[in-house]
Amino acid sequence: MMNHRITLMRREVGKDSAGQPVTDWVDVATVWAHVLFQSGAEVLRANADVAVKRASIRIRARKDIDASWRVRYSGGEYDINSALPDVDRSFMFLVAESAK
């Protein structure tokens, strides 16, 4: 059952007023999803404790999503590690991770 709303985001490169390159996240689509949190862990990154959340997100299949995209869900942003098609290719699973 897909009962959560997520926003798919991709990185877009542009230029600021001084002509310098800038990278920003832009919203592509808001879709229905089924979000399952696989695990949570605290790890040491760059000499600081960081809480890491891992999620499996099931959405209807799309051809434009890849591992460079991001998902916004429930106030958090999650980097997509992989976008895997379902067996019949009508759905796909996004394996995502958030570090805060």
Per-residue pLDDT reduced to its tens digit, 8-43: 999 998 888 898 888 899 999 999 999 998 765 555
Output the pLDDT for position 100: 57
Two structure tokens written together for 60: 């209807």
Q: Which domain holds residue 91?
A: 4-99
7: left (phi over 0), alpha (psi -120 to 50) or beta: beta
CATH of the domain at 78: 2.40.10.270
Q: Do residues 95 and 59 make contact, with C-beta atoms less than 8 angstroms apart? A: no
- The larger pLDDT score, comparing residue 5 to residue 52, is at 5
Query: From start to end of the chain, where are the E strands?
Result: 4-15, 21-45, 48-60, 70-73, 76-85, 91-99
Torsion of CA 26, 31, 83, 22, to 10 degrees: 0
Kindly report the pTM of this predicted structure.
Answer: 0.80
The type of residue at 45 is R
Q: How far apart are CA 55 and CA 45, in angstroms?
A: 20
pLDDT tens, 50-98?
Answer: 678 889 999 999 999 999 999 999 999 999 999 999 888 899 999 999 8
What is the domain count for the chain? 1
